[in-house]
Amino acid sequence: PAAHEGILRRQSLRESAARTYGRSLPIVPVRARGLTIEGADGRRYLDCLSGAGTLALGHNHPVVLEAIKKVIDSGAPLHVLDLATPVKDAFTTELFATLPREFADDARIQFCGPAGTDAVEAALKLVRTATGRSGLLSFTGAYHGMTAGALDASGGAGDVRVTRLPFPQNYRCPFGIGGERGAELGARWTENLLDDPKGGVPTPAGMILEPVQGEGGVIPAPDAWLRRMREITAARSIPLIADEVQTGVGRTGTFWAVEHSGIVPDVMVLSKAIGGSLPLAVVVYRSELDAWQPGAHAGTFRGNQLAMAAGAATLAFVRENRLADRAATLGARMMGRLQGLAAAHSCIGDVRGRGLMIGIELVDEEAASPDALVPPPAPALAAAVQQECLDRGLIVELGGRHSGVVRLLPPLTLTDEQAVAVLDRFADALAAAER
């Protein structure tokens, strides 16, 4: 406990106030396995943050550790810039085997370095180079990263070249129209904007979207809307970029989230789980878009050997053990129980998600004005729930525009018993926070 306190104190003094997770989760992880993290104070936690969705197989999965050890024991170089290696070859082969066939058959890969935001940046630069255009379409509530270009594409930031369109949502539709009608309205708005020669926007270099918004509050895009976005962009030769940084590798119940709607994007941005808990990010795109000259997109840390080995092992394990299917069935069961909880607690405004990407939106029923489409968010309650969860040994993350959504991103290896334990602790924490 003394070490725990000392570490927390020193790090909070030395590190920038900008650090996010550490402020709301004052724990000092020293050991971890699967769903469980152990702190320096000896306390154990069920980790449903999973490195913001990174840990498809949970912490320190044996196949991941084995893959890393194998590289180290083989004497292979740990860093060789972007040279060809057997490790990279194995990773790329495994990755392409998981990608939607129609996409993979004609795709190129660029290793970016090392975070999701780097791959987003590469994607934006790629479509600008390939089309010779500069504008970009992105969506309200989007999160694509924290570097300048990715930030521009994220809801909330501002850049004149980026036109932000409303992301459709059943619960918080800005027009009060959810479901298919809302999605169709959003699609028509997009068409009008692109086709209006006077008041619209010039044909942009690309459109970037998340099939399920994660940081935005776990908002799944309706499949019909995604198909309309694909039609609209294809008809105008606008490359469609699917940001699958968080939704990839089985998390949403299919290996890649675009598979739910069947759309084939022009560019896919991949990171988090593809590195098997080590930093790795790639952009994969239709070969026709490969407009870069040699040297046009370089960087020192691209395709780390250990991350590629850990990633290849993770991708293979998810594929061989059909963990995407497992995420679909277990996620649906968990959301069913959460819906039951919502019926008993008016502070739960919505339970939504796909697979093991689950959001519980907390709202303030009493503060709702009579003409409000939906009750206002309850960020203070959400923060209290997060704290009560932590007190009960459960780590959850918050999301959404007002941080009013509790997010569950457990590993895909979650057992039935663990799922029950997670939801028991969550239900207890909610009841305590409400009091």
Phi, psi dihedrals of residue 400, rounded to the nearest 5°: 90, 160
- Near ligand PMP by CB under 6 A: residue from 61, 88, 133, 144: 144
Instruction: Output the residue with the shortest Cβ distance to ligand PMP.
Output: 116
- Nearest C-alpha neighbor of 201 from the set 145, 133, 260: 133
Stretch that binds ligand PMP, among 79-87, 129-137, 138-146, 174-182 (CB under 6 A): 138-146
Is residue 120 part of the contact set for ligand PMP (CB under 6 A)?
Answer: yes
Judged by CB, which is closer to ligand PMP: 115, or 422? 115
- Sequence-ordered strand ranges (E) for 2-90: 29-33, 36-39, 44-47
Stretch that binds ligand PMP, among 109-117, 324-332, 366-374, 418-426 (CB under 6 A): 109-117
Write down the least CB distance from residue 248 to ligand PMP, Å.
Answer: 9
Helices then strands, counting H and E runs in the chain, come out as 15, 17
Is residue 116 part of the contact set for ligand PMP (CB under 6 A)?
Answer: yes
Render the burial of 279-302: b for 16+ CB within 10 Å, e for the rest. Answer: bbbbbbbbeebeebeeeebeeebb
Judged by CB, which is closer to ligand PMP: 118, or 350? 118
Stretch that binds ligand PMP, among 8-16, 113-121, 169-177, 425-433 (CB under 6 A): 113-121
Judged by CB, which is closer to ligand PMP: 91, or 139? 139
Is residue 152 part of the contact set for ligand PMP (CB under 6 A)?
Answer: no
- Near ligand PMP by CB under 6 A: residue from 115, 270, 274, 323: 115
- Nearest C-alpha neighbor of 425 from the set 408, 403, 405: 408
Judged by CB, which is closer to ligand PMP: 50, or 98? 50
**Contacts to ligand PMP from residues 157-196, by CB under 6 A:** none
Judged by CB, which is closer to ligand PMP: 252, or 418? 252
**Contacts to ligand PMP from residues 239-268, by CB under 6 A:** 243, 245-246
CA angle in degrees (0–180, nearest 5) for 223-98-149: 65
Write down the least CB distance from residue 217 to ligand PMP, Å.
Answer: 12
Residue for token pair 């004149």: 160
Residue 85 buriedness (CB in 10 A; 0-12 / 13-18 / 19+)? middle
Per-residue DSSP letter, 287? G
Strand 206-209 versus strand 212-213 pairing type: unpaired
> Would you state the structure tokens that stand for residue 105, as one six-digit string?
């058959």
Is residue 215 part of the contact set for ligand PMP (CB under 6 A)?
Answer: yes
Identity of residue 123 = A
Round to whole Å and give the CA distance between 352 and 361.
8
Q: Check if the beta carbon of residue 131 is closer than 8 Å to that of residue 239.
A: yes
Is residue 304 part of the contact set for ligand PMP (CB under 6 A)?
Answer: no
- Near ligand PMP by CB under 6 A: residue from 214, 276, 375, 399: 214
Binding residues for ligand PMP, total number by CB under 6 A:
15
Is residue 271 part of the contact set for ligand PMP (CB under 6 A)?
Answer: yes
Phi, psi dihedrals of residue 349, rounded to the nearest 5°: -80, -30
**Contacts to ligand PMP from residues 354-413, by CB under 6 A:** none
Write down the least CB distance from residue 257 to ligand PMP, Å.
Answer: 10
List residues binding ligand PMP (CB under 6 A): 52, 115-117, 120, 143-145, 210, 214-215, 243, 245-246, 271
